């Protein structure tokens, strides 16, 4: 197989990454529309449209900001070639930016209920399909892992056996989807399914980034930039955290603190039983 994979259809050269990314968006949106009908979603169309706009705008901004923060070397090429601006994107940045966008429009619109549960399966399906495109894009996509001597290491186009981290994430997301299928009939507070999804995914991204050749910031060296370059010897760079890992940790802490500081269901039950 030659990386990056390109499909030759109808006289067009279509990068596999773009094809599967588009399919992921389409599949996720179709599943969302189906779930709105199947679950008898009680939010009106205007409310859902408001939330959707906040999510789209926030995701677009968050995706670009975290991508360029994670790969600062892309700033200069992007100034001269808009294609770099379009190509630079981060799934985690989109999730966090979209979540912040939704919270902002909810605050402005006076929406107090949690609205994210219905998006869990559409997001999972879209991300799984999109990661297939990342796998087929090879090292040019920037999502493949460091060099490895493990038997399942894969040459993604640069003659180095690497961790197939896009495939790791596909397997993780499938397992996560299975967990949420199992939880479907379990009683949970409104909004807790989306919060659980976001926290678990942030934890996953925090861990899997240790296997990727990304720019890290050495905590024990006053946050000096350390470039973690994968080599055929699988040498690790100085210990540190990437911007993406820092963002994931902040998101986890925010949700954990929010959970601890939020209303306790058992407190409500105690009050109601005594009244």
**pLDDT tens by residue, 185-211:** 888 999 999 999 999 999 999 999 988
Residue by residue, DSSP assigns 197-240 as HHHHHHHHHHHHGGGS--EEEEGGGTTEEEE----TT----SS-
How does residue 260 score in pLDDT terms, banded at 50, 70 and 90? low
Q: Give mean pLDDT, residues 5-33.
A: 93
Question: pTM for this one?
Answer: 0.86
CB 208 within 8 A of CB 173: no
Distances (CA, A) of 109 to 24, 46, 117, 123: 29, 11, 19, 24
**Cβ-based neighbour number of residue 237 at 10 Å:** 16
Task: Provide, rounded to the nearest whole percent, the portion of the chain with pLDDT above 90.
Answer: 60
The answer to whether the bond into 4 is cis (omega within 30° of 0) is yes
pLDDT digits (tens, 9 = 90+) for 56-84: 999 999 999 998 888 777 777 777 776 66
d(CA 41, CA 39): 5
Domain range annotation of the chain = 13-37+119-259, 44-112
Quick: pLDDT tens for 136-185.
999 888 889 988 999 999 999 889 999 999 999 999 999 999 999 999 88
Across the chain, mean pLDDT equals 84
Q: What is the DSSP string of the chain?
A: --SS-EEEETTEEEEHHHHHHHHHHHHHHHHHHHHHHHTT--S-HHHHHHHHHHHHHHHHHHHHHHHHHH-GGGHHHHHH-HHHHHH---HHHHHHHHHHHHHHHHHHHT--S---GGGHHHHHHHHHHHHHHHHHHGGGGS----B--STT-EE-SSS-EE--HHHHHHHHHHHHHHHHHHHTTS---TTHHHHHHHHHHHHHHHHHGGGS--EEEEGGGTTEEEE----TT----SS-EEHHHHHHHHHHHHHHHHHHHS--HHHHHHHHHH-
């Amino acid at each position: 197989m030659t990386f990056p994979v390109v499909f030759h259809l109808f006289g067009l050269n279509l990068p596999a990454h773009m094809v599967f990314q588009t399919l992921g968006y389409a599949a996720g949106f179709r599943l969302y529309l189906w779930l709105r009908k199947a679950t008898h979603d009680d939010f009106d169309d205007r409310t859902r449209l408001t939330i959707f706009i906040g999510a789209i705008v926030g995701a677009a901004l968050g995706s670009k900001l975290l991508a360029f923060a994670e790969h600062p070397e892309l700033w200069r090429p992007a100034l001269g070639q808009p294609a770099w601006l379009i190509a630079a994107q981060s799934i985690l940045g989109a999730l966090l930016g979209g979540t912040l966008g939704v919270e902002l429009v909810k605050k402005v619109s006076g929406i107090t209920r949690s609205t994210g549960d219905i998006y869990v399966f559409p997001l999972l399906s879209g991300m799984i399909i999109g990661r297939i495109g990342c796998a087929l894009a090879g090292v040019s996509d920037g999502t493949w892992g460091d060099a490895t001597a493990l038997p399942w290491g894969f040459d993604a186009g640069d003659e180095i056996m690497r961790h197939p981290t896009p495939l790791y994430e596909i397997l993780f997301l499938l397992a996560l989807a299975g967990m949420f299928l199992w939880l479907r009939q379990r009683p949970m507070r409104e909004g807790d399914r989306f919060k659980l999804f976001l926290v678990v995914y942030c934890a996953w991204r925090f861990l899997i980034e240790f296997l990727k050749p990304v720019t890290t910031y050495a905590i024990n060296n006053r946050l000096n930039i350390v470039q973690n370059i994968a080599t055929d010897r699988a040498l690790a760079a100085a210990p540190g955290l990437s911007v993406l890992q820092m963002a994931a940790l902040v998101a986890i802490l925010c949700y954990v603190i929010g959970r601890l500081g939020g209303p306790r269901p058992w407190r409500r039950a105690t009050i109601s039983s005594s009244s």
